[in-house]
Copies of this chain bind each other. A is one copy, B any other.
């Protein structure tokens, strides 16, 4: 078990890599607990939940909306939850995002923590204090910045995940390696197969190093005014792809990273060989580098993205494997680059 700390503006957040769901109550002061989880997690782990009061959601990105948040608020009122109630989200990125948002806004904010049950949540979605819901298909349009008191990354829970879910988490690990850690990139290149087989030692390093990279960035820039934008590598395009196609977040980000790498090469920031290595690693991890959607439609959707500042867009590009750079570019230029990236992706 290894821990990390994020120093949020509101409170500190403890990341516990290798902690266990069954021990969650020991991380919570002597308060009443309400659990928020989903059907998949409840099916496997209901017996390990710390409380009999659990709000169990359906699954899938579609439920991550204001209607679900409202249904949870109503249930919390029925349960007579109050400001001394502690909310624990047990699940993947969707459960963490909704739980964090509901807990941050119900009665203007209750204390909360997560048990991250998916690789994606453990290496990315559960960490960093961004929470929220989608609106009309636009990702995370409504939310807050607010750190959970803890994020327990229970590595043993990964055993019940389908391979596709593992691949999606790998996309964010690749992202972290690509923007900040050449050593992690090389480690993953060498242990691709063992990673996909969930070798415990390999997993522990991948999760811990990813959480470390993300924590360090968030500690520098909790509210995404600068450094944190680097974590959006692949995501500006990924979110557009997700909106347009409905593929999973990890798959969309994977294809988005391929586009961003192609643009990085086109702008002569990144050596072509580095882009090739990135795409090869993604493919070996069973992740797509292209999706069935017209690049022009991706380009058109970019205008609705949160990362836009006025008529410019903050685009995260690579200078080499392990080093990202943020460029503020006119939206129209980015749209043109996306469309031109088509020929570069083959």
Contact = CB atoms under 8 A, between A and B. Distances in A.
A11 to B, nearest CB: 10
Contacts of A308: 80, 82-83
Nearest to A101: B105
A63 to B, nearest CB: 16
A145 B77 contact: no
Interface in A299-331: 303-304, 306, 308-310
Given A73-B135, A109-B223, 19 more contacts: A9-B9, A9-B10, A32-B310, A66-B66, A66-B70, A73-B142, A74-B136, A77-B138, A77-B141, A77-B304, A80-B308, A83-B306, A83-B308, A84-B310, A105-B143, A107-B143, A107-B306, A108-B132, A108-B144
Nearest to A146: B144
Contacts of A306: 82-83, 107-108
Contacts of A140: 107-108
Nearest to A131: B108
Interface in A67-95: 70, 73-74, 77, 80, 82-84
27 contacts: A9-B9, A9-B10, A32-B310, A66-B66, A73-B141, A74-B135, A74-B136, A77-B135, A77-B136, A77-B138, A77-B304, A80-B304, A82-B306, A82-B309, A82-B310, A84-B309, A104-B144, A105-B143, A106-B142, A107-B306, A108-B130, A108-B143, A108-B144, A108-B306, A109-B144, A109-B145, A109-B223
